[in-house]
């Protein structure tokens, strides 16, 4: 059996898995855009998404978790993340792919 989820369905599922509404929507939009770019239909696996992405309130919160000093500039942190993975910014926070 196959069920096609809308972006709204994905966001709602993510939100029920402890993502903020804004973060869940931003990640759902990102995944939907990625499917369109790759011309694929990804199988939705909330456990895999939880392992691959993390939500933070700010770049500085991410930096603190990864041992950056307070003197590290936001642009440097953003560049570091984007060079190694995915950074999704949204109103109220960021989502970073785990690397």
Residue 72: pLDDT over 90: no
- The helices-and-strands tally (H runs, E runs) of the chain is 5, 3
Instruction: Give every CB contact of residue 3 below 8 A, 6+ residues apart in sequence.
Output: none
> What local confidence, expressed as pLDDT, does residue 24 receive?
97
pTM over 0.95: no
Q: How confident is the model at residue 75 (pLDDT cuts 50, 70, 90)?
A: confident
Q: From the CB of residue 6, how many other CB atoms can be counted at a distance below 10 Å?
A: 10
């Amino acid at each position: 059996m196959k069920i096609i989820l809308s972006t709204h369905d994905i966001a709602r599922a993510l939100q029920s898995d402890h993502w903020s509404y804004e973060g869940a929507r931003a990640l759902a939009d990102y995944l939907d855009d990625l499917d369109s770019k790759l011309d694929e239909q990804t199988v939705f696996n909330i456990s895999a998404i939880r392992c691959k992405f993390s939500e933070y309130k700010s770049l500085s919160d991410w930096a603190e978790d990864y041992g950056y000093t307070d003197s590290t500039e936001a642009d440097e942190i953003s560049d570091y993340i984007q060079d190694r993975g995915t950074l999704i910014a949204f109103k109220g926070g960021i989502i970073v792919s785990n690397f």
